Amino acid sequence: MLYLQLFLSFFKIGLFGFGGGLAILSLIQHEVEANAWMSQQEFVDIVAISQVTPGPIGINCATYVGYTATGSVWGSLLATFAIILPSLIIMLAICRLYFFLSTRFRSNPYFQNTLRMLRFAVIGLIAAAALLLITPDSFIDWKSWLFFAVVFLLTILPELTKGIKNKGVQQLLSSLSHPIMLIILAGIAGYVVYN
């Protein structure tokens, strides 16, 4: 039963996961919570680990959740297979229809409008994922909010300071805004502050 549920959940995530990594995160989060496979706090930890390890976030999350939910390698395999399966079906159909799609569908208003509206909806999905992760378990005191604010600022800083022409400053800011760099820095800061 657990394995069937795992398969169905990740198949659904693969089927409705439009808009790439961060948007898929919100679907995984919902399934994980609805099935009580792990706490929100554990989920944040997985997202952090996914950010600093190679490979797509969707695959990383499926593998990890599959293992924790079942305690077995088979759970990992099943969840990873299930999240890929809809892609296999849909992308193969697209490959077969490639010439039709690349000529006719480009100008089709149904296709164009749906893509545009999905792009807006996906922004809402990602916002909801962030909001749902603001829990008392993850934000334990004012220092947590300081961490949040600093990382948020450093991420958007290269955009805000486009006017500065100095190459060195630009390079420094863009390397500081890299997710892996920020997670490592936050980890070190966490160790210093809380240990």
Partner 1 sequence: MFFQLFYVFLKIGTFTLGGGYAMLPLIQREVVDRKQWLDEEEFLNMIALAQAAPGIIAVNSAIFIGWRCGGWRGMMGAVLGAVIPSFLIILAIAMLFQDYKDQPAVEAVFKGVRPAVVALIAAPLLKMAHTAKITWLTALIPIAAALLIWLAGLSPVWVIFITIAATLLYTYLKERRPLR
The answer to whether the Cα torsion of 52, 184, 69, 26 is positive or negative is negative
Which residues between 25 and 54 bind partner 1 (CB under 8 A)? Answer: 25-27, 30, 34, 41, 44-45, 47-54
Residue 163 within binding range of partner 1, rule CB under 8 A: no
The 3-state DSSP class for residue 36 equals coil
Q: How far is the CB of 37 from partner 1 (least distance, A)?
A: 13
The site that binds partner 1 (CB under 8 A) totals a number of residues, namely 105
Residue 156 within binding range of partner 1, rule CB under 8 A: yes
Q: How far is the CB of 28 from partner 1 (least distance, A)?
A: 9
End-to-end CA distance of the chain: 41
* Cβ–Cβ < 8 Å for 7, 78: yes
For partner 1, the closer of residues 131 and 168 by Cβ is 131
Measured between alpha carbons, how far is 23 from 142 in angstroms, rounded to an integer? 28
Which residues between 129 and 148 bind partner 1 (CB under 8 A)? Answer: 129-134, 138-140, 144-145, 147-148
Q: How far is the CB of 169 from partner 1 (least distance, A)?
A: 20
What letter does residue 177 receive in the DSSP assignment? T
Q: How far is the CB of 43 from partner 1 (least distance, A)?
A: 10
What letter does residue 137 receive in the DSSP assignment? T
Q: Contact with partner 1 (CB under 8 A): which of 10, 37, 78, 80? A: 80
- 18's enclosing H/E stretch is none
